[in-house]
Amino acid sequence: MTRYPKKAKSEIGLSPTELVFRGEKKVDQIQMGVIDFDETSVEEKTIQNVKEIATFAHKKTVTWFNIYGLHDIEILKEIGEEFNFDKLILADVLETQSRPKIEDFNNFVFISLKMIQFSEEKQDITVENLSLLFNDNILFSFQEKKGDVFEPVRNRIRNHKRKLRSSRPDYLAFALIDTVIDHYLYLLGMLGEKIESIDDVLIDHPNTSVIDEIKSYKKKINYIQKGIKPAKEMILALSKLESDFIHKKNKIHFKELVNNINQASDNVDSYRELLSDQLNVYHMMISSRLNDIMKFLTIFSVIFIPLTFIAGIYGTNFDVLPELHFKYGYYIMLGCMAVIAIAMLLYFKRKKWL
Amino acid sequence: MTRYPKKAKSEIGLSPTELVFRGEKKVDQIQMGVIDFDETSVEEKTIQNVKEIATFAHKKTVTWFNIYGLHDIEILKEIGEEFNFDKLILADVLETQSRPKIEDFNNFVFISLKMIQFSEEKQDITVENLSLLFNDNILFSFQEKKGDVFEPVRNRIRNHKRKLRSSRPDYLAFALIDTVIDHYLYLLGMLGEKIESIDDVLIDHPNTSVIDEIKSYKKKINYIQKGIKPAKEMILALSKLESDFIHKKNKIHFKELVNNINQASDNVDSYRELLSDQLNVYHMMISSRLNDIMKFLTIFSVIFIPLTFIAGIYGTNFDVLPELHFKYGYYIMLGCMAVIAIAMLLYFKRKKWL
Amino acid sequence: MTRYPKKAKSEIGLSPTELVFRGEKKVDQIQMGVIDFDETSVEEKTIQNVKEIATFAHKKTVTWFNIYGLHDIEILKEIGEEFNFDKLILADVLETQSRPKIEDFNNFVFISLKMIQFSEEKQDITVENLSLLFNDNILFSFQEKKGDVFEPVRNRIRNHKRKLRSSRPDYLAFALIDTVIDHYLYLLGMLGEKIESIDDVLIDHPNTSVIDEIKSYKKKINYIQKGIKPAKEMILALSKLESDFIHKKNKIHFKELVNNINQASDNVDSYRELLSDQLNVYHMMISSRLNDIMKFLTIFSVIFIPLTFIAGIYGTNFDVLPELHFKYGYYIMLGCMAVIAIAMLLYFKRKKWL
Amino acid sequence: MTRYPKKAKSEIGLSPTELVFRGEKKVDQIQMGVIDFDETSVEEKTIQNVKEIATFAHKKTVTWFNIYGLHDIEILKEIGEEFNFDKLILADVLETQSRPKIEDFNNFVFISLKMIQFSEEKQDITVENLSLLFNDNILFSFQEKKGDVFEPVRNRIRNHKRKLRSSRPDYLAFALIDTVIDHYLYLLGMLGEKIESIDDVLIDHPNTSVIDEIKSYKKKINYIQKGIKPAKEMILALSKLESDFIHKKNKIHFKELVNNINQASDNVDSYRELLSDQLNVYHMMISSRLNDIMKFLTIFSVIFIPLTFIAGIYGTNFDVLPELHFKYGYYIMLGCMAVIAIAMLLYFKRKKWL
Amino acid sequence: MTRYPKKAKSEIGLSPTELVFRGEKKVDQIQMGVIDFDETSVEEKTIQNVKEIATFAHKKTVTWFNIYGLHDIEILKEIGEEFNFDKLILADVLETQSRPKIEDFNNFVFISLKMIQFSEEKQDITVENLSLLFNDNILFSFQEKKGDVFEPVRNRIRNHKRKLRSSRPDYLAFALIDTVIDHYLYLLGMLGEKIESIDDVLIDHPNTSVIDEIKSYKKKINYIQKGIKPAKEMILALSKLESDFIHKKNKIHFKELVNNINQASDNVDSYRELLSDQLNVYHMMISSRLNDIMKFLTIFSVIFIPLTFIAGIYGTNFDVLPELHFKYGYYIMLGCMAVIAIAMLLYFKRKKWL
């Protein structure tokens, strides 16, 4: 998985309204669905043809039109023409590697942000671009592939939740963004637990595989940060946006989003710092261990080196070497050796090496 | 103790007004009490039924209604209906893992912040969410469990302290927040003393248990910081809030809170830096020790290696090895060895290793 | 390649309108070309004489006049006089080592920024200063040498792209700046891939050549940052500039540039951090290896040191050394040695060194 | 000396107007003095009774009333009543551990800041809280103990310095604060000189006592920073304060204070960085030394290890060991050893270890 | 050279208008010169007596009055009286250790900044304070000693450069400040080249003298930064200053200064980071070398330790040691030794140590 977005050489210098799908094709065929609701009724439908939505578009109900898959530019163009999108909107939708941003077009508010999830399957983080586009009647959500992330929101619509059913698309947009941020918090909580569990390994069995692990979490956290940091700017801008499509009574919810994304951002900072502390502690641990190893080697060597030297002396073959002929020479030598060894041990004791 | 708040998967995408108690149940049953006072009288009462407070609510006195325990959502709903809370308020009260924040609702000012204390019992830091809600007549305080943190404030009410008894709930709120910040400062002072005492151990007996200790304090301080940093934003916002329920003459007290939380924040920064310096010093100390150990080993080895080598030579069994047959061969050898050893010692002396 | 711009002593204290070409002469002769277009027609021409452009200048069409090479100050002066440049403009154009900046002159908007590319030929990053100067009729682009960077934009003009053909020079300027930023992103993507590939080497074969590589990428990234950081300020200023030559409907495109340069800047930050992490991991890896090496040496030494000592004792030539005359003395010695060796191994096992 | 202020448990939750002296009693009895002056006359007096000042208070002259010692709350209360202090003022005066701050009360401007000095006696930094309180007639200065810090200002008053004698208390307050900041700069200069002198030790004789020294200076500098940082905010606020008691013509002096405190703050930053660099250099130095030590040991060991081994072989007692019986066997062995030793030396030479 | 300014104890608490020359006396006698010019004429003159300038002061021409040397306070006072300086101006001029600043007095604009140059003679950086004072008629420049820094500006005046000759003192001030900043850039370029050249030494021959060098450059760069950082603030303030003495048409030049000082500041940041990277790389290099050294020692030791042990066994003098009497015992021993040595080598090969 390549972590950071790249630009292909061939895309350099293209017009900003040029429609090129630069992302990965994550789904075979574009799928489209619609949920149309007001306080009294809900209608859900899968759609094959763009024309079908035209029928919803002009009703007084709130229409949520969701599109999975972005590779079929023709269909997107058709949607754009039907609803009179600004030329830049579709280009923005297709630019799946851009930074989260908010754009206030005349007839739509455009929001893009990153959906970051942990894929159990790949055991890795997956990032998907989500574009929302809403006015006072309709909300479009563009996703790269089909997912069940927004199922809870759909259920709230289906289950007659009053607030959601009686609101305009701005509140629906809030609910979707809130869900995305909840995913950030959930993912961070999950990673956080794993990161904290490294602490135990660190003190007890520091080894190079821990570095690897720390590094891999650091990368994950940095990657999430790259999604959250600009999202923070975007959501702050959203909470301050003066648009006809954002009703004053919902301002408080968008302010709530600011609070939530700030919490996510705080958590990212905490984990980054924790990981960096762990790397430091690891370093201290192995430095400390090296000291222990060297102390051990030194004590051992220093005790035996003089003893071996003494034995060496009495192993020489000089004709005249009187000690060799003493009756208790051998025992005296052993005694001296014992004295030296004990003296050394006492010395190390005093130096607090033992 | 899990340090960082987590989001459960099941909570993702819920409506912001959905009332779910996501915290830990820290008390068996919700307990409610009321202190009602004005300049001339005080009345304290434990309450079983929400209806009872209605009687206080419409008096001209200041009513402080404190609730311990948040798990019984029905009771909270009842309170909410009785006093006509905005739907978000109760959700905010129940969201015990949120960042400290302030929200200016129409009929109430809502404040949430963290109460951070050191539990002697668990030998660890405990964090509890505190929500305050006040208008010009009544102040609600929601705590997760019963505690005696606010006893000094209650005593000030009981003991006819003029200022508190003659003020409206905004001043009571100030007194409660002030108490919480005083706890931050007390806790930081306590931790600080312990952290500073690490300094002595560091220079004299650096060992891996010190790393452990430093790391544990660093975690505690970081944890406190996570409560204080957003509280700082919140209190600044509070000190600037234009609300009918905050009287102009009390503005100066809220400014004082800004000063106090800034001091707490300064202290957190100081201790963080101190801990990080300590880790550095530890590292230097063990590096320095390694040098000492290696110097010792090297000196010892380097002196004895050539001596042992010489002994080895005269231990060989060559037929022709004239020195062995010198009359003073053995003594000459010992003499040479002594000369070499002394030369080595002088060399190390000159190199300042000894 | 000297990375950072330098000031020659002789240039100190010169008048800001003094025209000196301080850069490197990158092309033999100044080359000039013009593309003149409106919605219906395009005319491309190479120009020898400055007078020739006068004919384009007063038409209603959009004229893009590009100049490659800056060393011939006379020609530049002639252009300046023809088009009535402010005196500072030419000095700014010639100052190829200045920071990216924007200047709102009376009759022109002046923009300078850095074109950063990877030269396959030199295997290094090349930086070239680009100056743009436009009013509502004409756009001048000054480059240090001829390049094909803007070919895609020229193609868009040639291929009747509507938007570009029907716009004024502000949109052309946007297209050129957009191309430059696209190059930043492309270059960063390319470097990023290489930087990430260091990770694998790092864990498996850490060696000093990796330091060298990390250091060289760090320098490249820092160098790019020096171009991007002030460009960010400049583009933000551009997006907010109130000028008669920037039409309101194009504001959204300049805002888009802000987004793009922010993404480039985010990427620079990411890679800087990644490189710094890699250096840390490298450090941990070699520290860890040192521990392994020392453990190995210690285990080996500690096992054999006492064995060799024992052999030394029985190599002495004492007259009285009873063990030597035991029948199974030799075998007992070997047995003792085996016991000692095994004991040591068990000890190391228990210490988790093995 | 405990470096960081602490909060006692018993003080938590007290009313902000509760008068408690939380500091250390630094003087036996409160001492009070007054200097009363205008352009023509000066009167200096020691005061025993608070009533005595009343006589000065209502004159047109400028009255500087200085109080040393804060433990006698009764006297302070008396002063407060006499001059109609806001209730918070005395609490602020007594709160000697608070952050430097400025408070604009109705009838007084209150300023508190830290006086940081080097006590030759204790060989340590001493910090004392200074509170100033002034309106257009009178200035109160509250110090924790008697000191001669403000003697130069008194002398300027005594010596008919025109500016000071003809100004109102705002200029006197400026003179006092200026003196305090001058002390910061003086102290920093003194510490700075000592810190810079560590550099020499560092390169020549790096040892653990240097770490200790660096650490101790770091603590001192951090401690000073804790006084200067909030003082910077305070003085900036002071320079912008719109108060009737600060005359417009003196604004320029308060701006000057901003400049001075900024210089102090710059110096603190410089010294912090210098100390941190020194710690780094220390680390490099001992790492470098370790390399030297290990190189030395390795060269020595590696030369003698094979020689000793060869001697060992010819020390074996095999019946059949032909070399032992060669006539020049011993000399050949010595020769081989010399060759090996020289080869090793050449090898190390080539490796640049020698 | 003491790098950081210090405050003498005796200066504490002095009046801000007290005239004391606190700097070093860098020139024997104050020298004064004047250049008086308008579009048509230039007059240069050395001046002995302050009265002489009075004649220039009231002409319509632009008068640049330069003073070298600040120790003769009497002369300065005379100038101050002649031109009616605010009392603070002379104190500011004399305060050569203050931070760069700008002050808008009624009848003059006062600017102070640092002239930082590399003295070939001392092989060190020299810093000199420069004060400029101008209104619409006259510009004073106060320098600590005579220098040729402003010769290029003088030449521009002499050589009838139109712009300079036809402008008022604000443009002259710009030209002087521009020259000072050009010196910053020149000095930084020079240092930068030297700093970059450390890179080569670092990888090839890392040794402790490199640390020393890095540290010395770091100090130089920090020192320059201390001059540039506040100059940046000052020049920004200057570019925004609304004063009668700064003409609107020159605003663009002051904006240019902001750009230039920003570039200097960027360069300082780059070099600081480069130096810090170099220190890191140095650390990695020596850590890496230590590994190599230890590997070498370990391989050597580990191969010979068992061999020497075997030789030791057969050097024992046991009566019964059958192998000694084998016919090929010696050769078998040698063979075993060879096998062990080769096995070890293969083992190290497999471990990639060889």
CATH of the domain at C333: 1.20.58.340
**Alpha helices, DSSP H only, in B205-314?**
208-240, 251-313
For B101, the closest of A189, A259, A352 (CB atoms) is A259
CB burial string A60-78: b at 16+ within 10 A, e below: ebbbbbbbbbbbeeebbee
41-80 in chain A: CB under 8 A from chain C: none
Residues of chain B with Cβ-Cβ distance to A291 below 8 Å are: 286, 289-290, 293
**Residue B129 Cα distances to A259, B95, B143, B176, B180, angstroms:** 16, 9, 6, 13, 11
Quick one: DSSP state of residue C99?
Answer: P
Residue B256's DSSP bridge partners are none
- The verdict on a CB contact (< 8 Å) between B309 and D304 is yes
Mean pLDDT of C335-349: 94
Contact check, Cβ <8 Å, E7/D189: yes
Least confident of B180-189, C27-36, D4-13, E289-298: D4-13
Do both B181 and B302 map to the same domain? Answer: no
Same domain (yes/no): A227, A293:
no
**Whether residues B115 and B179 fall in one domain:** yes
pLDDT band at A2 (very low <50, low <70, confident <90, very high): very low
Is C124 contained in some domain? yes
Residue E339 CB contacts under 8 Å (≥ 6 apart), including other chains: none
Residues 107-166 of D with CB under 8 A from E: 149-153, 156, 161, 163-164
Least confident range from C15-19, C327-331, D131-135, D142-146: namely C15-19
Is D86 part of a structural domain of the chain? yes
Residue A16 and residue A88 in contact, taking contact as beta carbons nearer than 8 Å: yes
Whether the Cβ atoms of residue D202 and residue D275 lie closer than 8 Å to each other: no
pLDDT in tens for each of the 354 residues of chain B? Answer: 445 556 777 777 777 777 777 677 777 788 899 999 988 889 898 888 888 877 777 778 899 999 998 888 888 888 888 888 888 888 888 888 888 999 988 889 999 999 998 887 777 888 899 999 999 989 999 998 887 889 888 988 888 767 788 889 999 999 999 999 999 999 999 999 899 888 888 877 777 788 888 988 998 998 899 889 999 999 999 999 988 899 988 888 999 899 999 999 999 999 999 999 899 889 888 888 889 899 999 998 999 999 999 999 999 999 999 999 999 999 999 999 999 999 999 999 998 887
Strand partners, A138: A63
Q: Is C45 helix (H, G, I), strand (E, B) or coil?
A: strand
Beta-strand pair E138-143/E62-68: parallel
Does position D4 have pLDDT exceeding 60, yes or no?
A: no
Residue with tokens 């200022």: B163
For C166-203, the pLDDT digits (tens) are 889 999 999 999 999 999 999 998 899 899 888 888 87
Four-CA torsion D16, D19, D20, D21, nearest 10 degrees: 110
Average pLDDT of span C71-91? 86
Please name the residues in contact with A292: beta carbons below 8 A apart, sequence gap of 6 or more.
none
Q: Which residues are CB-contacts of D22 (< 8 A; sequence separation ≥ 6)?
A: D8, D11, D94, D95, D96, D97
Q: Examine residue C4 and state whether it is found in any structural domain, yes or no.
A: no
Cα gap A334→C313, rounded to integer Å: 9
Residues D220 and D302 in one domain: no
Order of strands across the sheet with C42-47? C42-47, C31-37, C62-68, C138-143, C124-134, C109-119, C101-104
Tell me, what's the pLDDT at B5? 56
Tell me which residue of B318, E132, B47 sits closest to D326, measured CA to CA.
Answer: B318
pTM for the structure as a whole? 0.85
The secondary element (H helix, E strand) that includes residue D42 is strand D42-47
- Please identify among residues 247-266 of chain A the ones whose CB lies closer than 8 Å to any CB of chain B: 252-253, 255-256, 259, 262-263, 266
Tell me the pLDDT tens digit for each residue of A108-166.
999 999 999 888 777 788 889 999 999 998 999 999 888 788 988 898 888 876 778 88
pLDDT at position D6, please? 63
**C204-228 confidence digits (pLDDT tens):** 777 778 888 898 899 899 889 988 9
Of D83, D70, D34, D85, the C-alpha closest to D142 is D70
Same domain assignment for residues E102 and E27: yes
> Which of E344-352's residues contact partners 24+ apart within 8 Å by CB, and which partners?
E344/E299, E344/E302, E344/E303, E344/E306, E345/E303, E348/E299, E352/C205
Q: Compute the Cα dihedral for E101, E107, E108, E109 and give only its sign.
A: positive
CATH number of domain containing D100:
3.30.460.20
Beta carbons within 8 Å of E137's beta carbon, 6+ residues apart: E57, E58, E59, E60, E62, E63, E168, E169
Residue E61 near residue E138 (C-beta atoms within 8 A): no
Rounded CA-CA distance B166/B60 in Å is 12
Average pLDDT over residues C70-86: 87
Amino acid symbol at A144: E
Is C140:C58 a contact under the CB 8 Å cutoff?
no
Query: Can you tell me the distance from the alpha carbon of E172 to that of E156, in angstroms, rounded to the nearest whole number?
Result: 10
Does D1 score more than 50 pLDDT? no
The pLDDT of residue E1 is 40
From the list E255, E290, E316, the residue facing C314 with the nearest CB is E316
Interchain contact, B283 vs A281, CB within 8 Å: no
Q: Look at residue C1 and tell me if it is in a domain.
A: no
C292-321 per-position pLDDT tens digit: 899 999 998 999 999 999 999 999 999 999
State how many domains chain D has: 2
User: With bands split at pLDDT 50, 70 and 90, how would you rate the model's confidence at C111?
Assistant: very high
* CA proximity to E259, closest of C95, B70, C189: C95
Residue A153 inside a domain? The answer is yes
Q: Band the pLDDT of E171: cuts 50, 70, 90.
A: very high
As a whole-number percent, the residues of chain E with pLDDT over 70 amount to 97
pLDDT at A250 > cutoff 60:
yes
Boundary residue ending a domain (E250, E268, E284): E284
Quote the CA–CA distance of A76 and A94 in Å, as a whole number: 9
The complex scores an ipTM of 0.81
Q: Is the residue at B196 inside a domain?
A: yes
Collapsed DSSP state (helix, strand, coil) of residue E161: coil
Structural tokens at position D168: 């109102």
Q: State the Rg of chain D over Cα.
A: 35
| Structural domain that includes position E233 | 9-284
Q: Do residues E207 and E60 share a domain?
A: yes
Same domain, B84 and B118: yes
Last residue of a domain, one of B261, B284, B307: B284
**A256, A284, A312 - which closes a domain:** A284
> Mean pLDDT: which of B43-52, C179-188, D22-31, D115-124 is highest?
C179-188
Which residues between 307 and 336 in chain A have a beta carbon less than 8 angstroms from any beta carbon of chain C?
Answer: 307-308, 311-312, 314-317, 321, 323-325, 327-330, 333-334
The tally of CA atoms less than 13 A away on the side-chain side of residue B354 is 11
The residue length of chain A stands at 354
Interface partners of chain E (CB pairs < 8 Å, 3 or more) are: C, D
Residues B295 and B161 in one domain: no
Of A150, A263, A291, the CB nearest to B293: A291
Is D294's CB within 8 Å of B297's CB?
A: no
> Residue D2's pLDDT is what?
41
* More confident of the two residues A55 and E169: E169
Backbone angles phi, psi at E184, to 5 degrees: -55, -50
Minimal CA separation from E314 to chain D, in Å: 5
DSSP D99: P
Same domain for C164 and C301:
no
Position C5 pLDDT exceeds 60: no
What was the pLDDT predicted at C314?
94
**D252 inside domain:** yes
Residue E26 lies in a domain: yes
pLDDT in tens, E320-351: 999 999 999 999 999 999 999 999 999 999 98
Does the beta carbon of C204 lie under 8 angstroms from any beta carbon of chain A?
A: no
Q: What is the pLDDT of residues D297-313, one digit of tens each?
A: 999 899 999 999 999 99
Taking CA atoms, C66 is separated from A64, B330, C29, C90, D216, in Å, by 49, 95, 14, 15, 63
Three-class DSSP category at E103: strand
Question: What is the structure's pLDDT at D92?
Answer: 87
pLDDT of residue B4: 52
Assess whether B132 and B210 both reside in one domain. Answer: yes
Mean pLDDT of A287-293: 89
In this structure, are A119 and A56 located in the same domain? Answer: yes
CB–CB of D13 and B263 under 8 A? no
Q: Are C98 and C221 in contact (CB under 8 A)?
A: no
d(CA D275, CA D283): 12
Give me the residues of E, 14-33, that contact D with CB < 8 A. Answer: 14-17
Residues A64 and A143 in one domain: yes
Q: Read off the tokens for D33.
A: 């003095």
Tens of pLDDT, residues E108-149: 999 999 999 888 777 788 889 999 999 998 999 999 888 788
